[in-house]
């Protein structure tokens, strides 16, 4: 029996636009609720959300097979990448990538030898159904999807080298951090920033990699969709809940 098929990765390769939602609340019940609302993918945020290893595990279980889960790690720490894969994440989004060498090391961290250095502990791992998947070690590499975030001037300068790395399935443009690094703190929608963002997304796609981005601005989101962005997040559990509550209260002001 092989490792479970990663349909998110398969659809990226086909060039489809998959619509996602950010999970920042760190609650499995919220993750379960969101998983049943029709999004193609949900991202469990371990960089800015209060999500450690066990929090992520609980949300992966809550999401189950309802939709595809993407896990954003805190950083490119090799041990954390290994643990996230062992608890069942098949798609990782790794933030703050600023060189081709760093990108290559993330890929190595996510793959078993001879293509990488992921530690072998499948017999203890949820990823292999606790050793219930006999061919997990031989088939896991093909189903791991590595997404990298470029969100700084240094990342933009190194983009060609990042895109050239084998095993990088997609590159996500982080507009908030990029805007800050370009001198537009808190203004990711500024025309000067958006020109760079759109040019970067096009460059990623031209290189044959999947391009991704997050925005809660629906006008920008529609533009990214028309551009053909392959993985597009259009909001977050935090934003949707707060927006809904404010609207409900305002209706009875």
Instruction: Report whether 76 contacts 103 (CB < 8 A).
Output: no
Q: What is the pLDDT of residues 71-123, one digit of tens each?
A: 999 999 999 999 999 999 999 999 999 999 999 999 999 999 999 999 999 88
CATH class of the 7-250 domain in this structure: alpha beta
User: Across the chain, what does the average pLDDT equal?
Assistant: 97
C-alpha 40/C-alpha 66 separation (Å) is 9
CA torsion 117-118-123-126 (nearest 10°) is: -170
pLDDT of res. 39: 98
Side-chain-side CA neighbours of 40 within 13 Å: the count stands at 17
pLDDT of res. 101: 98
Q: What is the pLDDT of residues 136-173, one digit of tens each?
A: 999 999 999 999 999 999 999 999 999 999 999 999 99
Q: Which residues contact 154 (CB under 8 A, 6 or more apart)?
A: 98, 99
pTM: 0.96
Instruction: Report whether 77 contacts 46 (CB < 8 A).
Output: no
- CA 169 from centroid of its chain's CA atoms: 11
Name the band, by pLDDT with cuts 50, 70 and 90, for residue 1: confident
Q: What is the pLDDT of residues 31-58, one digit of tens each?
A: 999 999 999 999 999 999 999 999 999 9
Return the percentage of the chain with pLDDT > 90, whole number.
98
Q: Which residue has the tokens 């990699």?
A: 209
Active site residues: 48
Q: Which residues contact 209 (CB under 8 A, 6 or more apart)?
A: 163, 168, 169, 170, 171
Joined together, the tokens standing for residue 104 give 């290559």
Tell me which DSSP letter residue 41 carries: E
Does residue 17 carry a pLDDT above 90? yes
What are residue 210's DSSP bridge partners?
170
Break the chain into its structural domains and give their ranges. 7-250
pLDDT of res. 123: 87
């Amino acid at each position: 029996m092989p490792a479970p098929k990663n349909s998110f990765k398969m659809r990226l390769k086909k060039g489809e636009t998959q619509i996602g939602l950010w999970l920042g609340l760190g609650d499995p019940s919220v993750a379960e609720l969101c998983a049943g609302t029709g999004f193609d993918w949900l991202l469990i945020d371990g960089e800015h959300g209060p999500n450690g290893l066990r929090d992520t595990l609980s949300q992966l279980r809550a999401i189950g097979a309802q939709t595809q889960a993407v896990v954003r790690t805190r950083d490119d720490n090799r041990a954390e990448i290994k643990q996230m894969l062992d608890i069942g994440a098949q798609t990782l989004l790794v933030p703050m990538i600023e060189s081709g060498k760093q990108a290559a090391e993330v890929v190595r961290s996510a793959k078993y030898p001879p293509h990488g250095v992921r530690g072998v502990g499948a017999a203890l791992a949820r990823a292999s159904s606790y050793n219930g998947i006999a061919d997990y070690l031989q088939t896991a590499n093909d189903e791991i999807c590595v997404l990298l975030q470029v969100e700084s001037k240094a990342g933009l300068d190194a983009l060609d080298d990042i895109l050239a790395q084998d095993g990088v399935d997609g590159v996500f443009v982080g507009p908030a951090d990029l805007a800050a690094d370009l001198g537009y703190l808190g203004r990711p929608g500024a025309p000067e920033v958006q020109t760079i963002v759109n040019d970067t997304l096009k460059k990623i796609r031209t290189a044959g990699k999947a391009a991704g981005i997050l925005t809660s601005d629906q006008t920008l989101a529609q533009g990214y969709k028309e551009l053909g962005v392959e993985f597009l997040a259009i909001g977050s559990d935090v934003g949707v809940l707060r927006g809904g509550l404010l609207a409900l209260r305002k209706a009875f002001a």
